[in-house]
Amino acid sequence: MTQNAVLERMLTDADPASTPRDASPDVRALATRDRILRTTRAPKRRRARTLGWAGGLTAVAASAALAFAVFAPQGAAVAGTPSPLDFSGSSTVAQIVDEAGVALANSTGPSIPSRTVRTASWGFSVEVDTKTTTVVPQLSTLTWEPDGSGRMIIIAGVPYDPEDAVASNGAEVTSSGEVVTDLIMGEGDFETPWKTVPGETGEDMVAMLRAFGMPEDPTAFDVETAMTTALDQWTLTDAQHEELLVLLAETGGGEALGTTTDRLGRPVSGIRVLSPDGSVSDLILVSRETGRIVGIERTVLKDDGVFSAGAIISYRMWDLDADTVR
């Protein structure tokens, strides 16, 4: 059974239709929508601190993706974050991209870009009064249309103790069947700077990434940030993944880390890019089997009072297989 079929079965078994289609969204649904919509409005101040991607952590990712977002009260340290991946060997960014190109030529990825997005995400639920922390996974699916309409369904996963190293470093999600959100978006509710199906040339990818905020003379971090935002909204083809990797290599700013096994047990190569201020680094994981970009992890490089230097504060991994969720 494919990963899409597994997630669709979960959604069906959870009976998402129990929420009336014309029902007004609740507070949680509105918060979810705010993370989806790409707006210029300043975020409202909240009691909990949200740590995510430089361009804002959206609630969805292209294809079926894993995301790890940490929520903690300001000034409170959080334990139990994942351990760094252990890389071996040596290579260059150009070598990784060339090898990915060969794999992509023989891959059987999506034939056309898709506006359907499925994701599994992780967040820390912190009870301030009792000083207890629980990791709460979620499974979600998003479908949107060119007119900005769409639907998002979020299903709660089975929570676990963040001190459970095996669970924290793994990538399996068990669905509880509880529908957290069934959000119907009307025409214009889903805002995106790129509504049309993107082409597959390098020029097409440059145009798309610029729409998502990439400057004309980008750094590797600029390319990765815009790329991540694009993948939050689109499932792209193998040819488009290759062009994204070529754009990244052309900046000359990435660092090749060698090879490792990712949190799904897949063989990958790693390319690290640094933020301009040196506060965080993002690790791009490229499948050695398919050549596709299959994951991105963010690491704090400077102690910010909440997380110490070296803490992994977010991760997501695309192209899940059927055994990842159950």
**pLDDT for 198-217, tens place per residue?**
999 999 999 999 999 999 99
Q: What is the DSSP string of 8-28?
A: HHHHHHT-GGGS-TTPPP-HH
pLDDT in tens, 184-193: 999 999 989 9
Give the dihedral sign, CA 92/94/96/102: negative
pTM for this entry: 0.75
Domain that holds residue 66: 3-317
Q: Please tell me the predicted confidence (pLDDT) of residue 169.
A: 62
Model pLDDT, residue 20 = 44
321: amino acid identity, one letter: D
In a domain, 292, yes or no: yes
Residue 212 phi, psi dihedral angles, 5° rounding: -90, 15
DSSP assigned state of 142: E
Give the single-character DSSP code of 111.
S
Residues of the chain with pLDDT under 70: 1-81, 120-128, 131-133, 162-163, 165-174, 306, 320-326
Residue at 324 is within a domain: no
Give just the sign of the alpha carbon dihedral 189, 150, 215, 53. positive
Q: Is residue 323 part of a domain?
A: no
User: CB atoms < 10 A from the CB of 8, how many?
Assistant: 14
Is 210 a domain residue?
yes
Identify whether 326 is part of a domain. Answer: no
Question: In this structure, which amino acid lies at residue 151?
Answer: R
In this predicted structure, what is the pLDDT of residue 322?
A: 52
Task: Decide if 223 contacts 248 (C-beta within 8 A).
Answer: yes
Q: How many domains does the chain have?
A: 1
